[in-house]
Amino acid sequence: MKKVLIALLVILSGFTTQSLAQQTEKVHKVVFHLATSDTLAHKALAKQLSNVLDYWKNAQIEVVVHNNGIGFMKKNEARTAKEIEALKARGVTFAVCENTLKQRKIDKSEILPEASFVPVGIAELVLKQEEGWAYIKAGF
């Protein structure tokens, strides 16, 4: 009888451990840096973001877009607008650099509605890294 109780306790503790592990799954925080006009890199980034979210359902992801990457978020240039919309619905933040907009004389109304705005893209990347976010440079 003792052996049966011990076996039962071992089995139950395994279920409890698995249940606790699922409840305390680490939330991964990843910031992607996009500064290229390469539309193949834009398509690859959209696919990579989706892949990460498929693997880590509760990952927090931010894409910081500045400099030559601005076309990724421009209404009249974005070739991945549908993907961006779907990724935004999955919780991805698309942070567009206001400095880039000013320098290129681009109005915020020209940017996809899924965007949020940050004063300085590079500063946003630094802040995220200081907060412990993993940094990924988008592109090839």
Its sign, for the CA torsion 40, 127, 103, 82, is: positive
Look at the chain and report how many structural domains it folds into. Answer: 1
- Other Cβ atoms closer than 10 A to 100: 19
pLDDT band at 23 (very low <50, low <70, confident <90, very high): very low
Tokens of 81: 């607008």
Please state the pTM of the whole predicted model.
0.83
- Write down the H helix ranges in the chain: 2-23, 39-55, 81-89, 98-103, 121-130
Residue 128 located in a structural domain: yes
What is the CATH number for 59?
Answer: 3.40.1260.10
Tokens of 44: 């690859």
Percent of the chain with pLDDT over 70: 83
pLDDT band at 30 (very low <50, low <70, confident <90, very high): very high
Residue 12 located in a structural domain: no
Q: Are 124 and 99 in contact (CB under 8 A)?
A: no
Domain that holds residue 71: 26-137
3-state secondary structure at position 114:
coil
